[in-house]
Structure 1
Amino acid sequence: MAARSAQFVNRMGQFPGPKKFKQYIICHIILGVVLFLVYYRVNGGIIPFFLHNQLPVLKIGPGTPTLYYFTNADNDGVNIKWFHGANSRQTLRKAMKGDTQMVEADVMLQGQGTDKQSLEPIMAKLPDTSSDITLEEWLTLFVTTKKKGLKLDFQSTDAVEITLEKLKAVKHKLQVPVWLHANIIKGPLGHEPKVDGIRFIKHIQRLFPECTLSLGWTTGTHTDLSQIGYTWNMTLDMYHFVHAHEIEPPIVFTVRASLIRNSVPQLKWLTDNTRGSILVLQPEEDKQHVNKELMHIAYRFDPATSFWDISDPDLDEYLTKNRHLSKDELDPLVHMRDNVAFRPMQWLKMGLHVQQHSVLGSEEALVLTSKAVFVLTKGKFRPSPHNILHGRVMFINRKNRPVQQGETGLNIVVRSSKYNDFEHINGIFCFLGMDGQMKVESRGINPPIKKGHQRFSLSSTDCYGFSVSDAGHEIIFTVDILNDCETFQSVKRERGKHAVLRVPVPRDIGDEMHPFIVKLEDSNRYAVIDELHVEYNPKREPVNVKMS
């Protein structure tokens, strides 16, 4: 026992005295603090960096999806309310005290476009070129709210880079959704964009990539907007811009309420093919009655992919009240279009799948851009006068190339038993040519049918309706010459000029079941196809249609 006590005393004697022990503890504390600060700096916070993208709660910041952040919105964009044009100290204070979730403001350089232009970003919208508050002052006030989202609308290319640098400087204080918006493409009645789209997106990707990107078109107004809207060319321009710059969600396309009547199919197609959302904007200067137009958007777009910035209180109340009852408030033409709508799930894509952007489908339309691909029905049909393929096609010359005789157009193929290779499809081909020719001929089947051909009047809008009936003993190919494929009213198609081509089919070809095939034959054109559907009516009798 005494020996053990002696050992204990000896060991105790080896420990440092009180002074050295205190120094020992202080050194370890200092070392621990230094290591923690280094870890915090490198890691960007206390939570390990590798967990940041695995735990949704850690993603709150400028890039947070708006409906994820505002949980009381019930994942419905109609419940997100906006304060528009907070471009002064007074309006900003009002916005911060109000009950809206998102605050929109415009940014440009002081004296934009004048000889007094400086490098100081201010909050103003053209034609104004001055303001009582700079961007830096605006952000200093805004970050104190910590409960409202932000949308900056850029009024010029010059303001983009310096604005993003100032925004980046306060990024750590912006734990709210941030939208960055610019009108980058010329739209309906619009002027040339004041913001260069390429420079805009490049600066964002370099300086402030964690955001909701909002893109739009320049627009104007007119007393008669019945024929005006976002055209297929405009939406295709936006589609290719998004994909050329590899833009990923969250992305929103901003459109004016007064211009959407003739644009719902185009906009729905765009959002379907970019995984984007839509913001319907009704500025104070828009006085058009757009109740049914808003209901059309509400009907077509999921609540989680549609936002609404409506300045008219009565219209906003109407929208909120009827958002989920939109079907009862629709124009009858919407239901008419539903009856002939393209159903993507009923069709298959074939051909060179590796070719990007070649088959772009949506609930609203099918866009074909290459002859190396085609679509065919999942179902197969026996030759019968009761099965008729209907559709409507608009050819778009985006590459500004001349029509190739006998090549530029669309083929509808029936009786095909070989279609694995787009260059060696067999069957009976019904060709609708942009040179005004319609032809029916067989390829790779025996015995061959007698070729048939006929000319038809060209459409001034490159828009045609078509139908193909494989009645068994004959092919009935009809082409309607249409003056309009883009306006809302065009769904109410009235039979005008048309051509019908009938070609007899030998009985010994057989009557096996085959799919319908639709194929573009010239990669220098786009084919926008809608109303594509197979009509089946067992009570229908063959109709004798005379050529006109």
Structure 2
Amino acid sequence: MAAPRDDWQRLARLMTVPRPLRKHLLCIIPWFLRSRILSLNMDSDIPTLLYFSQVKDDASAIKWAHATNSLEDLEDVLKDNGVHMIEADVMLRGQGTPTQSLIPVMAQYPSTDSESILEEWLDIFLKSEGKGLKLDFQSTDAVEISLQKLKDRKEKLRMPVWLHADVLQGPHGGKPKVDATRFIRTVNRLFPKCTLSLGWTTGRHTDLSQSGYTWEMVLDMYYLVRKWELEPPIVFVARANLIRNSVPQLKWLIDNTRSSVLIWNPPSDTAHGTDLVYIAYKFPPDNSYFDLNSDDLETFLKEYRHFSKEKLQHIVLQRETVMFRPEAWVKMGLHMEEHSILPSTEALVLTKSLVYIVTKSKFKPKSMIQLRGRVQFIDREQKKAVPGETGLSIYVRPTAYVDYERIVGIKVFLGVDGLMKVSGSHLEVKNFEESQRITPSSVNCFRFRVIDTGSEIIFRVNVLHECNTLESTKQEETIHAELKVPLPEDIGFEEHPFILKLEDSNRVAVFDELDTKYSISTL
């Protein structure tokens, strides 16, 4: 650990760098010195864990006061030393009624009015110190006028300020009441120095076993962040009783946007502690917040926050053995396609045919080597599939692959339409091709296995009717379709990698299982 004097010298240098970099670089200062930084000219975009240095970079230790909409509740919470962040809801007086006015008030649907006016609420909040602020916008109409009120007080807002809205439709949710474009544009214009908090609308359902934040939902959020070029601090908000089937999706989103997650639950929901420790197991302590309306859940989380593995369900651990590992692959092709490959420790998303991935290791087919995985093809732009082209190609024993348009080797193709084909790719061998079809499901999800036995290629595919739930990680024993293709004798036995390539860009391919291994059996 650096000496205190060295830390202060580093801090002095940090204060001279541009503000967008400063808020990230400040994290190199030890937590026990960070409170002194608050005496410097910090703004409302200060990282929350930097401001609350006493929690020692553990976001689960941040305590929330939820729906603090009345002035009486606000005054009580301001006196509570156990609360770090105060959340309140904002709409216009008479929101959605014939008497709607231009006065922002503190209220949450189904209410449409309140005696607590935003300006009065903020003035009371600012009389105290040491608390952070989160405003949850309930309507698009309330955003601009409310942020103007906030901007008028910006000199006094020397604490974390989170601005939140549910801007996309989520599990069992309705159409968002806040327009994403207007919300983000207005925040950027009037109050950009904040933690931007974004969420999905959600709803109640009697059976949540099949529910969760799907890949389509998190991809929508990713492309929203990309469109507006949003930078940290960003937080995505997810409902606790919907995260059981959503951890890989949320973790992928967090990894690819350098953001954090906040898990919340209303008092009426039933959530399970084992789902919370699944989040705790996958997310580091410094980017997973919990706003829980349950003493039991908070106690469970506190007990297992750093020892969560022992409470995980067995299918979570089973998934660990086959999930995508970015360190085992390398990107090739047109590297200017920045968003063509989106990797995470939980999944890989391929979006463009101009870029492909290659295993770092090379394999010699003297014994059986296999690549297995699970892929879901997502139609984000409502484009028609091109027969025989829209899908995934897996190249086995490639001898030339610098040119993404001319990969030389054995091509194993899986089409969105269920076409399975093994053929030569730019080989001199003629008439080397076998194919068959399998009926795809409505979700276009497949589990596949490509086995090089040394003398033949075995291509196995199973059609999955859902691939978003934890239960879908279970491996099937029955094989739905299989191709066995003898290899020509003149295809060499030197070491080669595996290559994965999206053959056209009419679909997005999501791989949440992918690994290679040697095997003594084809089973």
TM over 0.5: yes
User: Shift of residue 385 of structure 1?
Assistant: 4.2
- 1:302-335 CA-to-partner distances (Å, cap 9, x unmatched) read 1001000000011111111210011111111110
Distance in 2 (CA, whole Å) between partners of 1:282 and 1:179 is: 18
Instruction: Read off the aligned partner of 1:250 and give its amino acid letter.
Output: P
Corresponding residue SS for 1:294: helix
- 1:454-513 CA-to-partner distances (Å, cap 9, x unmatched) read 121222321101111111111111111111111111111323451111111122221010
Distance in 2 (CA, whole Å) between partners of 1:65 and 1:448 is: 62
> Does the 8 A contact of 1:481 with 1:497 survive in 2?
no
Alignment partner, residue 186 of structure 2? 203
Corresponding residue SS for 1:320: helix
Distance in 1 (CA, whole Å) between partners of 2:476 and 2:355 is: 32
Distance in 2 (CA, whole Å) between partners of 1:542 and 1:492 is: 19
Alignment partner, residue 44 of structure 1? none
Listed as ranges, the gaps of 5+ residues in structure 2 are 1-12, 27-36
TM-score, structure 2 as length reference: 0.92
Instruction: Read off the aligned partner of 2:92 and give its amino acid letter.
Output: L
Alignment partner, residue 462 of structure 1? 444
Distance in 1 (CA, whole Å) between partners of 2:170 and 2:484 is: 43
User: Shift of residue 279 of structure 1?
Assistant: 0.1
Distance in 1 (CA, whole Å) between partners of 2:338 and 2:426 is: 29
Alignment partner, residue 461 of structure 2? 479
After the TM superposition, which of the residue ranges 57-66 and 420-429 deviates more from structure 2? 57-66
Q: Percent identity?
A: 52
Alignment partner, residue 164 of structure 1? 147
2:146 is equivalent to residue 155 of structure 1: no
Do the aligned partners of residues 49 and 383 (structure 1) sit closer, same or farther apart at CA in structure 2, a change above 3 Å counting?
Answer: closer
After the TM superposition, which of the residue ranges 138-147 and 484-493 deviates more from structure 2? 484-493
Distance in 1 (CA, whole Å) between partners of 2:122 and 2:412 is: 62
CA RMSD of aligned residues (A): 1.6
Corresponding residue SS for 1:209: coil
User: Shift of residue 258 of structure 1?
Assistant: 0.4
User: Shift of residue 450 of structure 1?
Assistant: 2.0
2:291 is equivalent to residue 309 of structure 1: yes
Corresponding residue SS for 2:356: strand
> Does the 8 A contact of 2:167 with 2:178 survive in 1?
yes
Alignment partner, residue 398 of structure 2? 416
2:268 is equivalent to residue 285 of structure 1: yes
Alignment partner, residue 513 of structure 1? 495
> Does the 8 A contact of 2:367 with 2:518 survive in 1?
no
Distance in 1 (CA, whole Å) between partners of 2:140 and 2:43 is: 25
Alignment partner, residue 413 of structure 2? 431
Q: Decide which structure has the larger Cα Rg and report it.
A: 1
- Pick from 232, 252, 257: which aligns with 2:235? 252
Instruction: Read off the aligned partner of 1:206 and give its amino acid letter.
Output: R
- Pick from 105, 114, 128: which aligns with 1:131? 114
> Does the 8 A contact of 1:178 with 1:212 survive in 2?
yes
Query: Residues 8-47 of structure 1: matches in 2 within 5 Å?
Result: none
User: Shift of residue 166 of structure 1?
Assistant: 0.5
> Does the 8 A contact of 1:393 with 1:527 survive in 2?
yes
After the TM superposition, which of the residue ranges 240-249 and 434-443 deviates more from structure 2? 434-443
Alignment partner, residue 407 of structure 1? 389
Corresponding residue SS for 1:216: strand
User: Shift of residue 170 of structure 1?
Assistant: 0.9
TM-score, structure 1 as length reference: 0.88
Instruction: Read off the aligned partner of 2:500 and give its amino acid letter.
Output: V
Corresponding residue SS for 1:153: strand
Distance in 2 (CA, whole Å) between partners of 1:243 and 1:109 is: 30
2:153 is equivalent to residue 175 of structure 1: no
User: Shift of residue 52 of structure 1?
Assistant: 7.0
Alignment partner, residue 357 of structure 1? 339
User: Shift of residue 289 of structure 1?
Assistant: 3.7
User: Shift of residue 129 of structure 1?
Assistant: 1.4
Alignment partner, residue 31 of structure 2? none
Alignment partner, residue 8 of structure 2? none
> Does the 8 A contact of 2:460 with 2:479 survive in 1?
no
User: Shift of residue 436 of structure 1?
Assistant: 2.1
Alignment partner, residue 62 of structure 1? 44
- Pick from 85, 88, 97: which aligns with 1:102? 85
Alignment partner, residue 11 of structure 1? none
Listed as ranges, the gaps of 5+ residues in structure 1 are 1-46, 544-548
Instruction: Read off the aligned partner of 1:249 and give its amino acid letter.
Output: P
Distance in 2 (CA, whole Å) between partners of 1:542 and 1:258 is: 40
Instruction: Read off the aligned partner of 1:114 and give its amino acid letter.
Output: T
- Pick from 211, 215, 223: which aligns with 1:232? 215
After the TM superposition, which of the residue ranges 432-441 and 183-192 deviates more from structure 2? 432-441
Distance in 1 (CA, whole Å) between partners of 2:375 and 2:334 is: 22
Corresponding residue SS for 2:86: strand
Distance in 1 (CA, whole Å) between partners of 2:126 and 2:148 is: 16
Distance in 2 (CA, whole Å) between partners of 1:526 and 1:52 is: 37
Alignment partner, residue 10 of structure 2? none
- 1:67-92 CA-to-partner distances (Å, cap 9, x unmatched) read 01100011011110000011001111
Instruction: Read off the aligned partner of 1:541 and give its amino acid letter.
Output: S
User: Shift of residue 449 of structure 1?
Assistant: 6.3
Corresponding residue SS for 1:140: helix
> Does the 8 A contact of 2:240 with 2:271 survive in 1?
no
Distance in 1 (CA, whole Å) between partners of 2:439 and 2:14 is: 69
Distance in 2 (CA, whole Å) between partners of 1:329 and 1:191 is: 34
User: Shift of residue 448 of structure 1?
Assistant: 4.6
User: Shift of residue 198 of structure 1?
Assistant: 0.5
User: Shift of residue 61 of structure 1?
Assistant: 2.2
After the TM superposition, which of the residue ranges 445-454 and 434-443 deviates more from structure 2? 445-454
- 1:387-407 CA-to-partner distances (Å, cap 9, x unmatched) read 110000100111112221111
Do the aligned partners of residues 389 and 52 (structure 1) sit closer, same or farther apart at CA in structure 2, a change above 3 Å counting?
Answer: closer
2:330 is equivalent to residue 348 of structure 1: yes
User: Shift of residue 444 of structure 1?
Assistant: 2.3
Corresponding residue SS for 1:424: coil
- 1:150-178 CA-to-partner distances (Å, cap 9, x unmatched) read 00000000000011110011111111100
After the TM superposition, which of the residue ranges 396-405 and 136-145 deviates more from structure 2? 396-405
> Does the 8 A contact of 1:347 with 1:378 survive in 2?
yes
Distance in 2 (CA, whole Å) between partners of 1:449 and 1:500 is: 20
> Does the 8 A contact of 2:45 with 2:160 survive in 1?
yes
User: Shift of residue 97 of structure 1?
Assistant: 1.0
> Does the 8 A contact of 2:395 with 2:409 survive in 1?
yes
Alignment partner, residue 217 of structure 1? 200
Distance in 1 (CA, whole Å) between partners of 2:199 and 2:521 is: 50
| Count of matched residue positions in the alignment of Structure 1 and Structure 2 | 494
Do the aligned partners of residues 123 and 388 (structure 1) sit closer, same or farther apart at CA in structure 2, a change above 3 Å counting?
Answer: same
Distance in 2 (CA, whole Å) between partners of 1:531 and 1:220 is: 29
Distance in 1 (CA, whole Å) between partners of 2:73 and 2:510 is: 45
Query: Residues 377-396 of structure 1: matches in 2 within 5 Å?
Result: 377-396=359-378
Do the aligned partners of residues 51 and 515 (structure 1) sit closer, same or farther apart at CA in structure 2, a change above 3 Å counting?
Answer: closer
